[in-house]
Chains A and B, each alone.
Chain A
């Protein structure tokens, strides 16, 4: 796909289109389609129009503007925007107003993007369909009887339905890549440590990462460039000086053993067809063994709930959010959380509490952290011989609304190909490579830690090869 951002930037600077017109088109599109698709929880009409006017005045005065200036963006509603409601789609935060801007929002403001609104998600980013949103699910724009994926489903829908050219989501176990795959857009989870999470409502802190949605790899890269870097308020964030060399040939590893289980044959065919097309554009595909990745999902479903149970302890009705009426302090906690948290959130808090409890800590939590080392090691071994790993983003295409709601384990298995990159802190991207029964299929590319721009370069070449 050609870059939408470059197209809009050129239109703004040549005065073919004003920023106000661009923002107006976004708002119109949202008015027309969002009643059905429900991508947005909140649309910032007044501030978006005000920003557009400010940038148009700048252009009219002959000042130069940056590449992202005036471009509309949607933000997942677990990213704080000062003075606006941020609920993470939870009842417990339904009356919460953010008191500061997230680091990424500060960066977006410096770059001059126009924040169009906040998008729907599974409550506290827990889920793979947006059906766990306490405000109702988003719908897949390709067929509204299907889920858009999740948890960043609203952000994927906003970009796929042409409501905004860009969006940000967060990815703890696939929450950017899986909805990108289901909705047919590009979704990029950067390396752990590359983007600050200050101002992101935490889910599982050793896994959470913020990243872009776009309609092309180039646009995802432009947005990533604007938000990456060190922030003193997130001690895991780092300044990385990545040397980028465009190689003549890239070698991509295909984890044949890991991909075997549960993969829809129609998806496998589309993925392998994309490999054939890419071979003509200086890609070489080699089989690699990553069988230890079969432990990744079990490992994830220990570490993630453990961190969830700890991170969500803060929502107790004392300092912010809704507080239930009760006589004693413990009753306030108990009733506030009982009324404020949804089904999936409580399930994960219970599992997390279990795996961290006395007597089980070594058997579950510590064991999982050792498996995490095993998975990182399996990746580093393979990266000695390949530049990136290529595999499907999901084992099947989007499923029907309601289909997996009563079976949490079936829903968890959707994450099987995406969680390994989070456990090892690696950058990973989902690229649309075709459709199966009219529903999009995504190819996942996983890169070396902190080789984010190299991964984006690989993805750009792959995207061009299959176009």
Chain B
């Protein structure tokens, strides 16, 4: 793993990487990947993957509108880092 590859992974995860991280992480991540490579020798035969332990999808709760109390709405809105009147502010999604 190279510093450039780490930089790319961070970019994919939308995290800005520092110079210190780009120097330290290639070796740390390589060591961990070397360790997890031992899975390649597991005697898997035709075993399928376990993708979920969830019970059957037939047990889903009804898809219906649940009324939200005004105080809860206000509490959720209060968590927003930036607001302007009734608007909750974010940066533009599309560039200028």
Contact = CB atoms under 8 A, between A and B. Distances in A.
Interface of A: 83, 96-97, 99-100, 192-193, 206, 232, 235-236, 238, 292, 295, 297-299, 301-302, 309, 313, 316-323, 326-335, 337-338, 341, 346-347, 349-351, 353-354, 357, 364, 366-374, 376-377, 408-409, 412, 425
B65 interface: no
B16 A335 contact: yes
23 contacts: A99-B72, A193-B55, A235-B61, A236-B54, A298-B39, A319-B80, A321-B81, A328-B95, A332-B91, A333-B14, A337-B15, A337-B16, A338-B16, A347-B28, A351-B33, A354-B29, A357-B12, A367-B40, A370-B48, A370-B50, A371-B44, A373-B48, A412-B32
B15 A351 contact: no
B14 A316 contact: yes
Contacts of B91: 326-329, 331-332
Contacts, number: 157
B32 A301 contact: yes
Contacts of A318: 81, 90
A425 B44 contact: no
A222 to B, nearest CB: 26
B29 A350 contact: yes
Given A335-B16, A366-B49, A351 B29 contact: yes
Contact of B15 (A295, A341, A376): A341
A327 B29 CA distance: 31
Contacts of A372: 49-50
Contact of A338 (B17, B72, B79, B90): B17
B82 interface: yes
A17 to B, nearest CB: 37
Contacts of B59: 235
A298 B54 CA distance: 23
Interface string B36-55: 11111011100111111111
Contacts of B31: 408-409
Most buried by A among B32, B37, B52: B32
Contacts of B14: 313, 316, 330, 333-334, 337
A320 B17 CA distance: 22
Contacts of A236: 53-55
B8 to A, nearest CB: 9
B16 A99 contact: no
A323 B81 contact: yes
Contacts of A97: 75, 78-79
A235 B60 contact: yes
A364 B43 CA distance: 15
Given A319-B80, A373-B50, A364 B36 contact: yes
Closest CB pairs A-B (n = 4): A369-B49, A320-B79, A323-B81, A334-B16
Given A97-B78, A351-B29, A357-B9, 9 more contacts: A193-B54, A292-B43, A298-B36, A331-B91, A349-B15, A350-B25, A367-B40, A370-B49, A409-B31
